[in-house]
């Protein structure tokens, strides 16, 4: 039996709400973040002035560019904590917005894939060779939400 696959990437497309660039604010660490991308990128600089600089960035693309800027000192444990930080951002997004939770749960058992050549870690690398960590974390969250 062929597995049902849902590809997502652009926030304007169907299932675009799965993108960290989708315009859904989240509330974490006693602050409002414009998108999950803002939160994720800012946590690279947790507890520094750069965290707030990323939080107030006008767009998710701006937040991403700031987060990738190596002029800012990246926290030492980033590689160890980045998956958990993404997990935290996704949980906030899909529990704080009931309509998003419904969409995620309605995907059933489908495989969720961030389909992009731009990212081999969070996405599928465009050809399926990437790790698709964003898709995997969304599927993990979906299973947790089903049990709640």
Are the CB atoms for 23 and 35 separated by under 8 Å? yes
Total Cβ atoms within 10 A of residue 22: 20
What would the mean pLDDT of 17-24 be, rounded to a whole number?
Answer: 98
Q: Say which CATH architecture domain 5-147 belongs to.
A: Orthogonal Bundle (1.10)
CA separation for the pair 132, 44 (Å, rounded): 20
Q: Which regions of 1-148 does DSSP assign to beta strands (E)?
A: 5-8, 26-28, 31-33, 111-114
Q: For the segment 1-11, what is each residue's pLDDT rounded down to a tens digit?
A: 457 999 999 99
DSSP string, 43-83: GGGTTSHHHHHHHT-SSHHHHHHHHT-TTS---TTHHHHHH
Q: Parse the chain into domains and list their residue ranges.
A: 5-147
Overall average pLDDT of the 126-132 stretch: 97
Mean pLDDT, range 132-140, rounded to an integer? 98
CB of 111 closer than 8 Å to CB of 3: yes
pLDDT at 133: 98
Compute the half-sphere exposure of residue 12: CA atoms within 13 Å on the CB side of its CA. 0
**b/e for 81-92, b at 16 or more Cβ within 10 A?**
ebeebbbbbbbb
């Amino acid at each position: 039996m062929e597995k049902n696959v849902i590809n997502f990437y652009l926030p304007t497309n169907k299932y675009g709400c799965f993108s960290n660039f989708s315009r859904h604010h989240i509330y974490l660490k006693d602050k409002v973040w414009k998108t999950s991308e803002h939160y994720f990128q800012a946590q690279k600089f947790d507890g520094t002035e750069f965290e707030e600089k990323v939080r107030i960035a006008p767009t998710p693309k701006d937040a991403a560019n700031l987060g990738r800027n190596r002029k800012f000192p990246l926290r030492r444990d980033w590689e160890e904590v980045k998956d958990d930080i993404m997990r935290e951002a996704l949980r906030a997004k899909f529990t704080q917005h009931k309509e998003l939770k419904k969409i995620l749960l309605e995907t059933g058992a489908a495989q969720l894939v961030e389909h992009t050549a731009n990212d081999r870690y969070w996405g599928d690398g465009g050809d399926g060779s990437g790790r698709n960590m964003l898709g995997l974390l969304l599927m993990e969250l979906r299973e947790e939400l089903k049990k709640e």
